[in-house]
A = this chain, B = another copy of it.
Amino acid sequence: MLSKNQLKLVNSLRLHKYRQEHGLFIAEGVKLVNEALKSSFEIHQIFATPEWIDAGHLPDGRYLVDVVEITQAELEKISALSTPNQVLALVKIPSGIPVPDASGEWALLLDQIRDPGNLGTIIRTADWFGIDRIIAATSSVDIWNPKVVQASMGSVFRMPVHYTDIHAYLSGNLDRVPVYGTLLEGEDISGVKLGKDGIVVIGNESHGISDSVKPFITRKITIPAANAGSSGRAESLNASIATAILCYEIRRQCP
């Protein structure tokens, strides 16, 4: 049974402020909760219908998880999904993991990504292509926002994401690895020779790369559009689409 306090806690976690206060975030649905259980993340509590509990999803070594049995009606009260799916977990936000230097790895640096769907999709795509790490400006959308967690399809449990001072990160790595950024005057990405490591800067959805970040870019690149017909062309690509193409190109050149 779901208590009033539990209901209040879960619903409060839709807001950044309460996620910070409680150090918890929400993962919903069978697939996502199973990804959480397989990961090294600590699970605070699971709310599940008898259907989920009876299916025996808890893996070995996870028997100590606190599982609260709830009804479908109670699940609907705490779920943000249009079709609530058996289970909702409260997961502990991992605390400050130190950011390693960028040598020998590929990192995406997010300069103020604002849309939760975009961030979730970027994490899922980076995970697919084996990007090592995501570095996010503290002003970017919160990775523990439920919409980010859902859109990542579980990749938040695998991909290291660090919120940090991106200027400090960039200046600390400038002499170690190339810093790529998509700018209109850049070189066609498919013709740029990519090596074994680098930082790829992804700009904000509307405003692109910040003026304060541009000076750190050592390799200007672009994703070329087809020639415009008589009626013109799309002016830009969506931020998660542009990121995906860069990740694909990294893996194509450096499998």
Q: Which chain A residues (238-255) contact chain B, with CB distance < 8 Å?
A: 238, 240-241, 244-245, 248, 251-252, 255
Q: Is A38 an interface residue (CB 8 A)?
A: yes
- Which of A125, A130, A158, A238 has the largest count of B CB atoms less than 10 A from its CB? A238
Q: Are A225 and B130 CB-contacts (below 8 A) given A155-B234, A233-B158?
A: yes
Inter-chain CA distance A224–B128, complex, in Å, is 8
Q: Is A19 an interface residue (CB 8 A)?
A: no
Q: Are A248 and B223 CB-contacts (below 8 A) given A125-B241, A240-B241, A241-B240?
A: yes
Q: Is A96 an interface residue (CB 8 A)?
A: no
Contact between B252 and A124, CB atoms less than 8 A apart: no
Q: Which chain A residues (97-135) contact chain B, with CB distance < 8 Å?
A: 117, 121, 124-125, 127-130
Please, which residue of chain B has its CB at the minimum distance from the CB of A240?
A: B241
Contact between A226 and B129, CB atoms less than 8 A apart: yes
Q: Produce 1/0 per residue, A141-153, CB < 8 A to B.
A: 0000000000001
- Which of A39, A248, A251 has the largest count of B CB atoms less than 10 A from its CB? A248
**Smallest distance from the beta carbon of A152 to chain B beta carbons, Å?**
8
Inter-chain CA distance A190–B245, complex, in Å, is 12
Taking the full assembly, how many copies of this chain does it contain? Answer: 2
Inter-chain CA distance A40–B229, complex, in Å, is 14
Residues in B with CB closer than 8 Å to A224 are: 251, 255
Inter-chain CA distance A117–B231, complex, in Å, is 23
Contact between B226 and A128, CB atoms less than 8 A apart: yes
Contact between B248 and A121, CB atoms less than 8 A apart: no
Q: Is A185 an interface residue (CB 8 A)?
A: no
**Smallest distance from the beta carbon of A118 to chain B beta carbons, Å?**
10
Please, which residue of chain B has its CB at the minimum distance from the CB of A238?
A: B121
Q: Produce 1/0 per residue, A202-241, CB < 8 A to B.
A: 0000000000000000000001111101011111111011
Q: A residues bordering B, Cβ < 8 Å? A: 38-40, 117, 121, 124-125, 127-130, 153-155, 157-158, 190, 223-227, 229, 231-238, 240-241, 244-245, 248, 251-252, 255
